[in-house]
Amino acid sequence: MDKVVFHSTNYISEINKVSKNLFLLKRKHFWHESKIIRESFADGWKLFILEKTNLPIKIRSNESVFLGTKMSAIFLPPYEIIEWHIPKGYLEWTAYLSPIPLLVNYSQAIAFDWNQQKNPKNINDIEKILLNLKKFKIISLEDNGCSVAKNTKEFISKNFSKNLSMKDIALELQIPYSTMTHYFKRAYFISPSEYRQQLRVTHAGQLIVKDKKNTLDSCFESGHGDYSNFKEAFKKIFGATPKEFKEVQL
């Protein structure tokens, strides 16, 4: 099937297959209270598009970036972390997703005005938009020169699917566990374990989409040891269970 719709208590998600290896996620969401959401993922990329809204959304960066006063977009490459400040109320957004790397090389998350008259129909259209950008703001959360945070993030990014405890990782990096977690959270506002969980879940999604893995294999190959916990974490990030997510595949 080309489209799957998921209903939850607070939102409706619709996943469409636009073209080969390109998907469009549409989300209608009512936030009962203000939220701060920190997001990252492994593999591929996301392109968020936000309509003009009466609920301006702030993105934490070196200087605060406000979205929603006009049509805006965010390009999020793998392993980068961004922080959304979402106000209470109704919000709609769309996001293009693909497991296929782009020719354009943005290593950090960026925000920019969305002035396109037509929606992208394939990956080439999105590459052209990004290649022709004249103005954008970097919005990735950064390590601010902290080598502990930087080295921890790099190690987890390369080894997230391995069966290592956080204390094992601290030993590999030759730093105290408490020091590792403290400086990582001070830089990125999430714990190392939360960051790794996001990478594992989003990698599982890539295994389902690109590699056509079944849900059980995607669970364990992404580093999870328990399917129930994986299922819960998957739905929190994708708005669908692994089984529902797989149904969008042709």
Q: What's the CATH number where 82 sits? A: 2.60.120.10
Same domain as 117, residue 152: no
17 contacts 23 by C-beta, under 8 angstroms? yes
* CA–CA dist 224, 204 (Å, integer): 9
pLDDT in tens, 143-171: 888 999 999 999 999 999 999 999 999 99
**Count of the separate structural domains present in the chain:** 2
What pLDDT score was predicted for residue 12? 83
Q: Which amino acid is at 129?
A: I
Regions of the chain where pLDDT drops below 50: 250
Same domain as 8, residue 131: yes
Same domain as 134, residue 153: no
What is the domain-level CATH number for residue 179? 1.10.10.60
Same domain as 119, residue 152: no
Same domain as 157, residue 37: no
Same domain as 165, residue 54: no
What pLDDT score was predicted for residue 250? 43
Same domain as 116, residue 152: no
Same domain as 181, residue 99: no
25 contacts 13 by C-beta, under 8 angstroms? yes
What pLDDT score was predicted for residue 10? 74
> pTM, whole model, 2 decimals?
0.87
Same domain as 82, residue 7: yes
* CA–CA dist 39, 173 (Å, integer): 24
What pLDDT score was predicted for residue 63? 62
Same domain as 163, residue 113: no
**Residues spanned by the domain of 204:** 147-188+190-246
What pLDDT score was predicted for residue 231? 93
Same domain as 109, residue 57: yes
What pLDDT score was predicted for residue 249? 55
